[in-house]
Structure 1
Amino acid sequence: MIKVENLSFSFPQKELYKNISFTFEEAQHCAFIGTSGSGKSTLIDILMDPERYLFEGKLEIDPDCRIGHVSQFSQVDKTKEMTVFEYIGEEFIKIQDEITAMYAEMETTSDMDALLEKVQLSLDAFDSMDGDNFENTINKQLNLANLMKLRDLNVSSLSGGEFKLIQVMKEMLSRPDLMIMDEPDVFLDFENLNALKNLINSHKGMLLVVTHNRYLLNHCFNKIIHLENTEIQEFDGRYIDYNFSLLQTKIELQEITVAEAEEIERNENIVHNLRAIATYNAEAARGRALKARVKFTERLEARRIKEPFVDIKQPNISFGMDNEIEDTTVVRVNNYSVAFDELLLDNVNFEMKSADKVAIIGSNGTGKTTLLREVFKNSHDSIEINADVKVAYLSQLQGEMLTDSNTILDEFIDAGFKTYDEIRSYISNYGFEGEILNQKIGSLSGGEKNMLQLAKVSASKANVLLLDEPTSHLDTYTQIALEKAIEDYKGAILMISHDFYSVVNGMDYVLIIDDKTIRKMSMQEFREMIYASHFNKDYLETEQKKKSVEMKIELALKDTNFELAKVLVDELEALIKLL
């Protein structure tokens, strides 16, 4: 269907791809992964509209290949006056209405042959979409996603997460040969994420999905395309098996690298001795031996292994504080209520201590972001912030905390940094180096913008962090680095998250929105709730053990203890089989 051969493409300030090749074939459900800013969304744009881009190499797309697309930043159109059913079935209803109108036209037309030809074309199009069954098909999809309750609601009343799922259904029902989705999981609550998983797994055609969501990655795909450092790697199989193969490769490469480093050191010692001898003995043979050894050293250096897929640099995220507060209440919410068109939250009461790490969870559109924003603004009568508290805020609406017209350097000058050199040194910990520092923030990817927000939160040295969907758009390597930063942080965190792993790995307890109010839930209760809806028994515990073994392998590699690393790999393989 689609074949890419030796494709290269650059922006003026950045090379994105260098001679990359890959294919899409029938029935493949492919996860498209890579670190933030590596060019995944741009590559999708090239596939969707190759005429817009000046690239080198070959892009072969079957002329009959129909591509469906769900955008990363789709928004609910509040002006659309149609029901969810009408929105999903819009194309079917349109063709159906056209056919009805043409039948009516037959009573008066003077060119029956031309009209019959038009009718036949519309009937063929309707048939290719399985139009006769479209009502049943829509109902099945809504039931699969547990969204039948939305069927007759106006589409403009949907939450962002609900609308994203409805878009996915609409595109799937048009039966494209290849369906492309760019981060369809961002901001989906637990129930909607599970619905997206069901929709992906039920789809019969080819899928290409950009995602960093570990739940989807572990449960939905039979092919991985990994874009990193201008190169691409294909893997036929599950994401969890791909990660395991990368780890095995990393051990092998590091073992070779250590052996090569020892060989280089031995050769350099020989070169050093030959040079010392050459200072007092100018025999031609000695000179030739020295030249040969120098060339041999150069060849060894050139052969040093640089592997873009196994040596990915994790950002160094670290949350520190200017002043640590003793064990006392830092945030108190008393009888808080909020309403827009309808009451969202009522009689909300909770308080946080100075070292509490708390997740707010609940369905899309239940008022979580509004509550967190009002805690940040501290202007509501029902919210009390300790006078010694310094608060930092990460918004899911990135434009709320970042200025798109700023360059990265300008943004951090505005944040209080004194010099560009100070910014360059600091921001390099977050993966921003070179020309990108002079780019406008508006041109960055969603993941890069979230990384900048994390860097600003860290630089604030606040003792209370308010984080609204901090893992959204972040690649899996950065998600893990963020979890470590949260674990090490000594202050208080109030975090909205729909990411199972972030909540389970980093939070002390959960505040769950239930019947328009909030109640406290222990981590044990949260695990049981998640198991009931999403996971097989002991899944998260097995995932935790897997993570622990992976950490031990990393430590073994740091100590160049390759024998221990290989033993631990066998232990890891046994855990992966359980997942």
Structure 2
Amino acid sequence: MIKAENLSYSFPQKDLYNNISFTLEDGQHCAFIGTSGSGKSTLVDIIMDPERYMFDGTLEIAPNCRIGYVSQFSQLDETKAVTVYEYIGEEFIKLQNEITSICTEMETAWDIEPLMEKYQQALDAFHAISGDDFESNITKELNLSDLSKLKDQLVSKLSSGEFKLIQVIKEMLTGPDLMIMDEPDVFLDFENINSLKKLINSYKGTMLIITHNRYLLNHCFNKILHLENTELQEFDGRYIDYNFSLLQRKIELQELAIADTEELARNEFLINNLRADATVHVESSKKGKSLKARVKLNERLEARRIKTPFVDIKQPRIRFVTDNVLEDTIALKVTDYSVSFDDVILEHVNFEIKSTDKVALIGPNGTGKTTLLRDIFQNCKDSIEINENIEMAFLSQLQGEMLNESNTVSDEFFDAGFKTNQSIQSYVINYGFDEEIVNQKISSLSGGEKNILQLAKISAGNANLLLLDEPTSHLDTYSQIALEKAIEDYKGAILMISHDYYSIINCMDYLLIIDDKTIRKITMRKFRKMIYANHFDRDYLEIEQKKKAVETKIESALKNTDFELAKVLSEELEGLIKLL
């Protein structure tokens, strides 16, 4: 389907790929992973339209390959008065109407030869996308994704998550040879994530999907492309097995690196001694030869130093800090809050959050979570009461709301109170960025980089109440884990909208769930039971939690250079992976 050989491509400020090669075969479901800003979306753009890009190397795509595409930034056209059925069937209905029109024209035409040719072209196009069965196929896909209730609803009334799934169905139904999706899971609630999983797994064609969703990664793919540090690695098999192979490689490489470092240190010591002797005994050619031999040996040792582009990955060090820690007091109180647009979304909402509570706000797409969070941040309603000692920070899922796209990164941090470019460079390095990024326009950054930038700005403040709207969206898995650690260590209060099961389980004290237009509090135990009953498999999630605990122990063993313990733990981890 696709074959790339020695492909290289650079932006003016950044090298993206260095002689990467990969193949994508018919029928493979391939997850495309890598840290934010590594160039995944750009590579997808190159595949979609190679003529637009000046790259080195070769990119071969099967002749007449039809590509379906779902963007990570889908815009819902609220002015378009079409139903879900009409939207999904748009291409089929258009061709059907064209065929009918040509037939009508042929009934009265003197010369039907040109019309016959047009008719055959339209009919071939209709058959190429399996048009004969499109009505039943639409119904089948809507049923599969649990969206049949939306069939006659206007597209303009859909939530962003529902619209994303409808887009996926629309593209899949035309039967492209290659289906490309760029983070289709962003902002999907638990139910819609499961629906997306069903759609992906039911698709018989070839897929290339950029995703950081740990649940989808573990359940939907039989090939992995991993782009990191300008290089690409491919792996035939499950993501969970690929991740384990990386961990084993990390243990092996760290052990070898320590041995190499010790050997280099010993050799450096001998070189220094020989240099000292050579200075004293200038006439000794024997000592000079020994010195040259040792220097060459050191150069060889340095040259063979292990290159680890897929293990030595730059991870952000996210830290939320506040000097204003409030103990055992109410930070936020909401009393009889209501909000409506065309219809009532939320009504009679009551809850309070203490100054050190970490709370997840969950509920289906389109139920008013973001509106509530924004109203709290703006403190614009009498029903919302903020403690006078609380300072808030807000992370928006609409990244342009909190970041000025026309600013450079440097401008953004000067606005946040930084005084010099050097202090900004030193600060952003901690978040996994290169120094050069300070001169880049925010509009040029990836979705994940923009979210990391929002987190960096929040971290630079002194807020003691964080309002986070889908903070894991667009983040790579390394950044998600770093964010979880930052939340765990934070001393203030957090109210976080999330549909990421892992982040909720790993970080939150309890949840607020939207239910029948109001909000009720539930414990983590009840949340787990709800998830087991309605969405995810209990055994899988419990094994996942055990797996995470073992991975944490391995990480600790590696920090202490206890490689024997790390190897024993990796065997335990392998046993858990087999259960998955």
Say yes or no: TM over 0.5: yes
Q: What are the Cα deviations for residues 451-493 of structure 1, in whole angstroms up to 9, with x where unaligned?
A: 0100111111211100000000000000000001111111110
Q: What are the Cα deviations for residues 505-555 of structure 1, in whole angstroms up to 9, with x where unaligned?
A: 111111000000001111111001111122222332321211111111112
Q: What are the Cα deviations for residues 296-321 of structure 1, in whole angstroms up to 9, with x where unaligned?
A: 10111121112010111221111110
User: What does 1:419-430 correspond to in 2, within 5 Å?
Assistant: 419-430=420-431
Instruction: Report the counterpart of residue 94 of structure 2 in structure 1.
Output: 94
Question: Which region of structure 1 is more displaced relative to structure 2, 76-85 or 442-451?
Answer: 76-85
AA aligned to 2:473 is S
Contact 2:221-2:237 at 8 Å conserved across structures: yes
User: What does 1:116-195 correspond to in 2, within 5 Å?
Assistant: 116-195=116-195
Contact 2:451-2:471 at 8 Å conserved across structures: yes
Instruction: Report the counterpart of residue 441 of structure 2 in structure 1.
Output: 440
Question: Which region of structure 1 is more displaced relative to structure 2, 552-561 or 8-17?
Answer: 552-561
Instruction: Report the counterpart of residue 540 of structure 1 in structure 2.
Output: 541
Instruction: Report the counterpart of residue 241 of structure 1 in structure 2.
Output: 241
Instruction: Report the counterpart of residue 527 of structure 2 in structure 1.
Output: 526
Give the whole-Å Cα distance in 2 for the aligned partners of 1:61 and 1:542: 40
SS at match of 1:117: helix
Contact 2:320-2:487 at 8 Å conserved across structures: yes
- Is 1:330 paired with 2:322? no
AA aligned to 2:219 is H
Q: What are the Cα deviations for residues 318-341 of structure 1, in whole angstroms up to 9, with x where unaligned?
A: 111021112011100000000011
Contact 2:426-2:435 at 8 Å conserved across structures: no
Pairwise CA distance, 1:110: 2.3
AA aligned to 1:92 is F
Give the whole-Å Cα distance in 1 for the aligned partners of 2:118 and 2:411: 59
User: What does 1:7-406 correspond to in 2, within 5 Å?
Assistant: 7-281=7-281, 282-406=283-407
Give the whole-Å Cα distance in 2 for the aligned partners of 1:324 and 1:62: 60
Pairwise CA distance, 1:150: 0.5
SS at match of 2:430: helix
Pairwise CA distance, 1:407: 0.8
Give the whole-Å Cα distance in 1 for the aligned partners of 2:189 and 2:353: 24
Give the whole-Å Cα distance in 1 for the aligned partners of 2:339 and 2:317: 38
AA aligned to 1:150 is L
Give the whole-Å Cα distance in 2 for the aligned partners of 1:505 and 1:568: 21
User: What does 1:400-419 correspond to in 2, within 5 Å?
Assistant: 400-419=401-420
Pairwise CA distance, 1:114: 2.5
Pairwise CA distance, 1:433: 2.2
Pairwise CA distance, 1:127: 1.8
What root-mean-square deviation, in Å, do the aligned CA atoms of Structure 1 and Structure 2 show? Answer: 1.0
Pairwise CA distance, 1:77: 0.9
Pairwise CA distance, 1:128: 2.2
Give the whole-Å Cα distance in 2 for the aligned partners of 1:185 and 1:358: 22
Pairwise CA distance, 1:204: 0.5
Question: Which region of structure 1 is more displaced relative to structure 2, 128-137 or 360-369?
Answer: 128-137
Q: What are the Cα deviations for residues 386-418 of structure 1, in whole angstroms up to 9, with x where unaligned?
A: 001111111111111111111111101101112
AA aligned to 1:275 is R
Question: Which region of structure 1 is more displaced relative to structure 2, 98-107 or 272-281?
Answer: 272-281
Give the whole-Å Cα distance in 1 for the aligned partners of 2:559 and 2:510: 34
Give the whole-Å Cα distance in 1 for the aligned partners of 2:537 and 2:405: 43
SS at match of 1:143: helix
Contact 2:424-2:438 at 8 Å conserved across structures: no
Contact 2:217-2:239 at 8 Å conserved across structures: yes
Give the whole-Å Cα distance in 1 for the aligned partners of 2:528 and 2:116: 61
AA aligned to 2:247 is L
AA aligned to 1:242 is Y
SS at match of 1:166: helix
Give the whole-Å Cα distance in 1 for the aligned partners of 2:286 and 2:572: 55
Give the whole-Å Cα distance in 1 for the aligned partners of 2:88 and 2:316: 41
Instruction: Report the counterpart of residue 472 of structure 1 in structure 2.
Output: 473
Give the whole-Å Cα distance in 2 for the aligned partners of 1:419 and 1:279: 46
Give the whole-Å Cα distance in 1 for the aligned partners of 2:18 and 2:26: 26
Give the whole-Å Cα distance in 1 for the aligned partners of 2:425 and 2:15: 21
State TM-score, norm by structure 2.
0.98
SS at match of 1:36: coil
AA aligned to 1:475 is D
Give the whole-Å Cα distance in 2 for the aligned partners of 1:176 and 1:379: 48
AA aligned to 1:125 is A
AA aligned to 1:376 is F
Identical amino acids, percent of aligned pairs? 71
Contact 2:429-2:435 at 8 Å conserved across structures: no
Count of aligned positions: 579
Give the whole-Å Cα distance in 2 for the aligned partners of 1:244 and 1:28: 21
SS at match of 1:187: coil
Contact 2:408-2:438 at 8 Å conserved across structures: yes
Q: What are the Cα deviations for residues 45-71 of structure 1, in whole angstroms up to 9, with x where unaligned?
A: 101011111111101111211111001
AA aligned to 2:158 is L
Instruction: In structure 1, list runs of 5 or more residues that go unmatched.
Output: none
Give the whole-Å Cα distance in 1 for the aligned partners of 2:411 and 2:76: 32
SS at match of 1:111: coil
Contact 2:357-2:509 at 8 Å conserved across structures: yes
Question: Which region of structure 1 is more displaced relative to structure 2, 119-128 or 44-53?
Answer: 119-128
Contact 2:451-2:475 at 8 Å conserved across structures: yes
Question: Which region of structure 1 is more displaced relative to structure 2, 432-441 or 511-520?
Answer: 432-441
Pairwise CA distance, 1:289: 1.5
SS at match of 1:64: coil
AA aligned to 1:79 is T
Give the whole-Å Cα distance in 1 for the aligned partners of 2:293 and 2:139: 75
Instruction: Report the counterpart of residue 6 of structure 1 in structure 2.
Output: 6
Instruction: Report the counterpart of residue 578 of structure 1 in structure 2.
Output: 579
Q: What are the Cα deviations for residues 64-84 of structure 1, in whole angstroms up to 9, with x where unaligned?
A: 111110011011111212111
SS at match of 1:347: strand
Instruction: In structure 2, list runs of 5 or more residues that go unmatched.
Output: none
Pairwise CA distance, 1:230: 0.4
